[in-house]
Chain A
Amino acid sequence: MLKMQDVSKVYRTDLIETYALREFSLEVSAGEFVAITGPSGSGKTTFLNVAGLLENFETGSYRIDGTDVRGLSDDQRSRLRNERIGFIFQSFNLIPDLNIYDNVDVPLRYRRLSTRERHERIGSALDLVGLSSRMKHMPSQLSGGQQQRVAIARAIAGDPAFLLADEPTGNLDSLMARQVMELLEQINELGTTILLVTHDPELARRAQRNVHLVDGQISDFRTYEPRAAPDAGLAHA
């Protein structure tokens, strides 16, 4: 599904070169839940940016579903992001001037789906995150946990092959963080591959695999036992 081979990403200034990723190799199979951990500056976000086609890389190869992304045009990368990748950001990144429905609709419009299909997908996604009754609410009317669930709905509405989650619980209190994590686990169990960038070792432990980064390189791989099924239902904040 996702295969990086010897990928390097360098940030250059006039004086220094900084390797954010150095000969980084990682293979993620369909349906996996992988946590990416590491200290600040270790390259976690850079990895997420490269994996999500938000940034280019200098050397190495990167394939998504067998497609080499290196030669893709900007428009092709946009399309691939839109159709294959779902993003969940630490700060939710909802558009404050759009209501919940329209926020979830944003990537679907870029895919040029019909109104009916978009409506169905938005309904399903908001159902899954337990916010279908809040469609007309504005983001500012929701709690942080609810906003993150809207962001998750936006990420999954397009039925992506994998989700990239960047510290999705970083701005949430522990209760909301747990709810969001349970939601991600539920989505993963429905078949969506998830790559989770986090500082939190407890969250990382809930993934099937933990990739630990230091200085842009993988310092440790750890595989965990399959987790127990989440408690019945999802608590709603």
Chain B
Amino acid sequence: MSLSVRPILSALMRNRTGAVLVAMQVAIALAVLVNALYIVVQRIEKMQRPLGIDVDNIFVVQASGFTDRYDQTSSMREDIDYLRSLPGVVAASPSNGIPLSGSGSATTLTAHPGVHSTDGFNYYEVDEQGLDALGVRLVAGRNFRHGDIEPSRAKNDASSFVSNVILSRATALRLFGQDDPLGKAVYDDLGQSATVVGIVDPVIGAWVGDRHPDWVMFMSRLPSGRYGAVRYLVRTRPGARDAAMQQAESHLSRSNPDRVITFVRTLNYFRDLSYLGDRSMGIYLLTVTLLMVAVTCLGIFALATFNVTTRTRQIGTRRAVGARRADIVQYFLVENGLITTAGVVGGCALALATGYWLSIQYELPRLNLYFLVGGVLLLWGIGQLAALQPARRAATVPPSVATRNV
């Protein structure tokens, strides 16, 4: 290398204000870039995790009775029969909650009576078509049978559990570890037991932001329709959902004058709504990060341009005494590389400190070092690209500039 680093570094140190400012800019950009990308990737992973539910082919109906004549049990029976009769419908079930919607119910569960636990498990009250209505895969045991389904619990009655439950694999692991959960009892917070008859995997509950959204339990009971609303989960064959939705809305809104259809919506709607915050956060962070990296590149570009402009005579002199154009390009890239390297070294410390603070403050996972390495390479490369154009412009300075007495 014809241009060893020492003289460039020593020249840089004599005019370090601009270089230090740009290096600080690089350091801050790296800290933001790495942590923001890490958060964005976490959000993307969250949005892309397996749901275990046939989201694209499911719609949800919510009905609310509003007269004294309204009989929830018979209305539910009629509605479900109608929904199951619609062309293209694979399965339909009443349900207390809607997956991915933020609306559902949870209870504490233990594997041993009398043991206090604060673990919350999201539960669905469904009938024998509940699993099919969600498209959830049964991986062990059996599905609910028609005879398993218990009538709705009276409103505000928390005194009775159910006979049979189906657990998500994550729930079973939490309660029983590696033991086979089938046939074992689980207990609610009143010490009442239910028998585990099946295991599903994967599946997700109502709250996507939960630390354990896959801690899910299905209960063999019709929903109680608390607050006067019952929900139906309806799964269709691919391509049949929208037509079935239209038919369902049209019929159900007229079939019973004692209740109103509050909404008929696709499950995609709820999923998109639930992940809206994650998506918006991701877009926001990416935008801010890209802007910051762009501003940093502009800083690098500006400093390199300034250096080239103010050293025209010096460049001409170097060319006159034998520098090739490539030597001039190399000089400015090495100089910029030193500034960027100083920036990314400082940025590594700043990124780790920021990552640590975020992990403590917001209970986020610690910064993955691969992101740091990637961020360093990315920023260093972009930094060199930003300096390339001024460096190439420097190389076009003719050697005859050396003899001009301006």
Contacts and interface: CB of A to CB of B under 8 A. Distances in A.
Interface of A: 45, 48-49, 52-55, 74-75, 78-79, 81-83, 87, 89-91, 93, 95, 97-99, 102, 105-107, 109-112, 154, 158, 166
Contacts of B403: 45, 48-49, 54, 89-90, 166
B11 A98 contact: yes
Contact of A74 (B3, B12, B324): B324
Interface of B: 2-4, 7, 10-12, 14-15, 313-314, 317-327, 398-400, 402-403, 405
Contacts of A93: 313-314, 317, 320, 402
Contact of A154 (B3, B321, B325, B398): B321
Contact of A111 (B322, B398, B399): B322
Given A49-B403, A54-B402, A109 B317 contact: no
Contact of A107 (B3, B10, B14, B321): B321
A194 B303 CA distance: 40
11 contacts: A49-B400, A53-B399, A54-B398, A54-B402, A78-B319, A78-B325, A87-B321, A90-B405, A97-B15, A110-B321, A158-B322
Name the residue in B12, B322, B323, B402 with the highest tally of chain A Cβ atoms < 10 Å from its Cβ: B322
A110 B14 CA distance: 22
B2 A54 contact: no
B7 A81 contact: no
Contacts of B7: 98, 102, 105, 109
B322 A79 contact: yes
A228 to B, nearest CB: 31
B399 A54 contact: yes
Going nearest first, the 4 A-B pairs with the smallest beta carbon separation are A82-B322, A97-B11, A107-B321, A110-B322
Contacts of B11: 95, 97-98
Name the residue in B3, B10, B399, B403 with the highest tally of chain A Cβ atoms < 10 Å from its Cβ: B403
A55 B401 CA distance: 10
B141 to A, nearest CB: 77
B249 to A, nearest CB: 77
